[in-house]
């Protein structure tokens, strides 16, 4: 582990805010922050830095951290904001704790559904030089990736359907009333009807702290950061091989090297993957070293990644169950932290010692991150 100080997650709040209009976005963020602090058992006065993840185009606010700064306790505190990915907020918060210059960090991200059209907001992220006139939103990019994968791997559509069914089954346990419903109609070929979910509003908060702080407060339920990796694909889809995920491979290598993971299947107990589509989940299996593509059909078929299997993936139900677009990455981290801390509730897995969160975002998962959390301090090796 390269870090000067090893950070641990001591509090999480995942808030599906479905009952919209009685609370403004700012108030939803306030509620989630308070819940995260309560889960950590500390007060805002214990927080000496904040990182938020938020996206202007989804929020309909320029520099949208401004509106949230008060709600997350930012007044008179050291607060930074990243709009590239909610998982990036976690990474930056962890780096600040790891520097030894902060005892605690609060990390908050959110994703509202106040835009008239989320695909239209996403389309603004295409460059105006070559791609803006194309109908390119995130769903289209995901479909383009699925098409490449279907071409590369025979019979993949059935395997994808099984992955989808697994996540929806997991989701029914995690959320008796799943926040996100399957999107109706044919989405984008080859993504069939019901293979993606409707975006909903959501907010997520995590609290990070140093070992000293954790010991001083006698906090016992801690998910220690054992390894972090993050990387990005190039900008233009045409410059990428959409059938592979080199950035996720790079991110996994970083995280595994830090954590001392050489055999992820054996050393990990739970995994959360950003399953914007089941194809994205399958591609992540390969890049994370969980299952090569020639084994996808067999391992998915024998239930390796189900609740009952050897390495459960997406016990939370994943994005297929709860899809607050921008903060799905940070939710993966919070879900693993909760599993490691024994705070996952109805979908808590037994004897979780180490878990892996994969976060992907952007067009066909341009941004990738892999974060290993564990019950014990230090690396595994």
Partner 1 sequence: MSTAGTSAAGVSSERVGIIGIGQSQFTARRDDASYPDLVREAVVLAMNDADLLFDDIQAVVYSLSPDAMVGIGNAERLGVDAVGARNKRFLRINTGGATGISSVAAAYYHVASGACEVVLTAGADKVGECGDSQTVLNKIWDPTYERQLPLGTINMLAMSAVRYMNFYGLTEEDMARVTVKNRWHASLNPNAHLRRVVTIDDVFASRYIAWPMKLLDCCPQSSGGGAMVLASERFIRERNLDAVWITGLAHCSETYWLGDRMGNNPTADHADAFALGRSFQRAYKMAGITDPGSQVHVAELYAPFSNTEYHAIDAAGFCKPGESIALLREGQFELGGRLPVNPSGGTLCTNAIAVTGMIRVAEVALQVWGRAGAHQVKGARVGIASGNGGDHQFFGTMVIEA
Partner 2 sequence: MELMSRQETWNITYTHALGETASWFYGQIRDNAKLYGRRCAQSGRVLVPPRSFSDQTLQPTTEWVEVGPGGRIETFTIVYEQFQNLPDPPYAFGYVLLDGADTALGGYFKGVDLTDPAKAAEKLKIGTRIVTRFAEQRTGDVLDFWYEVA
Only segment of 70-78, 236-244, 257-265, 335-343 that touches partner 2 (CB under 8 A): 70-78
- Considering the complex, state which of residue 189 and residue 236 has its C-beta at the smaller distance from partner 1: 236
* End-to-end Cα distance, the chain: 10
Question: At its nearest, how many Å lie between partner 2 and the CB of residue 132?
Answer: 6
If you compute the radius of gyration of the chain from its CA atoms, what whole number of angstroms results? 19
- Considering the complex, state which of residue 137 and residue 275 has its C-beta at the smaller distance from partner 2: 137
Q: Are 374 and 380 in contact (CB under 8 A)?
A: yes
- Residue from 66, 132, 212, 301 in contact with partner 2 (CB under 8 A): 132
Question: At its nearest, how many Å lie between partner 1 and the CB of residue 342?
Answer: 26
Question: At its nearest, how many Å lie between partner 2 and the CB of residue 201?
Answer: 9
Residue 218 as a binder of partner 2 (CB under 8 A): the answer is no
- Considering the complex, state which of residue 45 and residue 263 has its C-beta at the smaller distance from partner 2: 45
For 317-341, the three-class secondary structure string (H helix, E strand, C coil) is CCCCCCCCHHHHHHHHHHHHHHHHH
The partner in contact with residue 44, picked from partner 1, partner 2, none with C-beta cut-offs of 5 to 8 angstroms by kind, is: partner 2
- Considering the complex, state which of residue 79 and residue 191 has its C-beta at the smaller distance from partner 1: 79
Question: What is the spatial distance between Cα 57 and Cα 50, in angstroms, rounded to a whole number?
Answer: 22
- Considering the complex, state which of residue 72 and residue 247 has its C-beta at the smaller distance from partner 2: 72
- Residue from 57, 104, 140, 254 in contact with partner 2 (CB under 8 A): 57
Question: At its nearest, how many Å lie between partner 1 and the CB of residue 4?
Answer: 5
DSSP β-ladder status, 50-53 and 104-111:
parallel
- Considering the complex, state which of residue 26 and residue 295 has its C-beta at the smaller distance from partner 1: 26
Burial classification of residue 283, based on how many CB atoms lie within 10 Å of its CB (0-12 exposed, 13-18 middle, 19 or more buried): buried
Question: What is the spatial distance between Cα 43 and Cα 66, in angstroms, rounded to a whole number?
Answer: 22
- Residue from 18, 38, 66, 75 in contact with partner 2 (CB under 8 A): 75
- Residue from 3, 24, 183, 307 in contact with partner 2 (CB under 8 A): 24
User: How many residues interact with partner 2 (rule CB under 8 A)?
Assistant: 29
Burial classification of residue 232, based on how many CB atoms lie within 10 Å of its CB (0-12 exposed, 13-18 middle, 19 or more buried): middle
Q: Are 179 and 322 in contact (CB under 8 A)?
A: yes
Question: At its nearest, how many Å lie between partner 1 and the CB of residue 19?
Answer: 19
Question: What is the spatial distance between Cα 246 and Cα 142, in angstroms, rounded to a whole number?
Answer: 16
Question: What is the spatial distance between Cα 185 and Cα 278, in angstroms, rounded to a whole number?
Answer: 17
Residue 114 as a binder of partner 2 (CB under 8 A): the answer is yes
């Amino acid at each position: 582990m390269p870090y000067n100080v090893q950070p641990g997650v001591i509090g999480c709040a995942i808030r599906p805010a479905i009952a919209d209009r009685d609370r403004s976005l700012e108030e939803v963020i306030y509620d989630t922050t308070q819940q995260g602090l309560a889960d950590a058992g500390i007060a805002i006065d214990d927080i000496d830095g904040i990182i938020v993840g938020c996206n202007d185009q989804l929020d309909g606010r320029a520099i949208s951290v401004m509106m949230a700064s008060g709600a997350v306790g930012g007044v008179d505190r050291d607060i930074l904001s990243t709009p590239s990915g909610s998982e990036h907020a976690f990474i930056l918060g962890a780096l600040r704790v790891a520097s030894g210059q902060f005892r605690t960090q609060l990390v908050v991200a959110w994703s509202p559904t106040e835009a008239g059209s989320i695909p239209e907001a996403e389309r603004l992220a295409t460059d105006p030089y070559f791609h803006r006139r194309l109908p390119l939103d995130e769903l289209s990019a995901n479909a383009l990736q699925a098409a490449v994968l279907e071409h590369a791997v025979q019979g993949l559509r059935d395997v994808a359907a099984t992955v989808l069914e697994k996540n929806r089954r997991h989701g029914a346990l995690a959320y008796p009333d799943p926040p996100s419903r399957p999107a109706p109609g044919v989405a984008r070929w080859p993504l069939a009807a019901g293979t993606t979910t409707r975006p909903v509003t959501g907010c997520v908060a995590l609290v990070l702290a140093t070992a000293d702080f954790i010991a001083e407060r006698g906090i016992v339920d801690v998910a220690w950061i054992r390894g972090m990796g993050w990387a990005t694909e190039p900008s233009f889809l045409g410059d990428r091989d959409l059938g592979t995920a080199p950035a996720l491979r790079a991110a996994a290598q970083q995280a595994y090297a830090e954590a001392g993971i050489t055999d992820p299947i054996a050393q990990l107990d739970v995994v959360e993957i950003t399953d914007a589509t089941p194809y994205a989940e399958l591609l992540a299996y390969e890049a994370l070293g969980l299952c090569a593509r020639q084994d996808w059909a067999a391992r998915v078929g024998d239930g390796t990644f189900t609740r009952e299997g050897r390495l459960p993936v997406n016990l939370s139900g994943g994005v297929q169950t709860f899809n607050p677009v921008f903060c799905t990455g940070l939710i993966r981290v919070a879900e693993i932290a909760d599993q490691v801390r024994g705070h996952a509730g109805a979908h808590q897995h037994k004897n979780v010692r180490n878990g892996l969160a994969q976060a992907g975002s952007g067009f066909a998962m341009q941004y990738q991150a892999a974060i290993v959390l564990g019950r014990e301090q230090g690396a595994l090796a």
